[in-house]
Amino acid sequence: MNVDKSFRDKVYALVASIPEGRVMTYGDVAAYCGSPFAARQVGQVAHFGPSELPWQRVVNRNGGLASAYSFGGIEGHKAALQADGVAVDEAFRVVGFEVKRWHPNETQTSLL
DNA sequence: GTTGTGACTTTTT
DNA sequence: GAAAAAGCCACAA
């Protein structure tokens, strides 16, 4: 299996595998890539990575948007999440992000 | 091989 | 409770 890929490559595949209406935290993505403390690296990869991936579904530990440097501002990011079916509150936090938190192994379980 | 950086996380003041 | 600092990992020069 392809496990020799770089950390960055894993992030791409993982983020690209996030289904619509689901969100993941940087720490979780990093943990699934082999390092639970490499959340910063995930963010850096995201900024330099392909904009084709749904980075909008990637949020910080607070369940809020962190890409204030992308998407034309956090406001644009909030709209992007809503377009994906993710509800966002005035604090730019994903509504029920703990429930919408997606895991690659669980493959979506049941989300109401 | 060393230094610097970063869309984070956690702990301490 | 909020703000500041340190810590951690991977990639680029």
Give the pLDDT score at A109: 56
Query: Does residue A32 sit in helix, strand or coil?
Result: helix
Q: Give me the A residues in range 83-102 that sit within 7 A (CB) of strand B.
A: none
Residue A6 CA to nucleotide C12 C1', Å?
A: 14
pLDDT digits (tens, 9 = 90+) for A31-66: 999 899 999 999 999 999 998 999 999 999 998 888
Give the pTM: 0.87
Cα-based distances in Å from A110 to A16, A19, A51, A62, A104: 20, 13, 29, 22, 13
Give the pLDDT score at A108: 60
Q: Closest nucleotide (CA of A6 to C1')?
A: C10
Whether the beta carbon of A66 falls within 7 A of nucleic chain B: the reply is yes
Give the pLDDT score at A1: 63
Res A28 pLDDT > 60: yes
Res A25 pLDDT > 70: yes
pLDDT digits (tens, 9 = 90+) for A70-112: 777 788 888 888 999 999 988 889 999 988 999 987 766 555 5
Residue A1 CA to nucleotide C5 C1', Å?
A: 41
d(CA A22, CA A6): 25
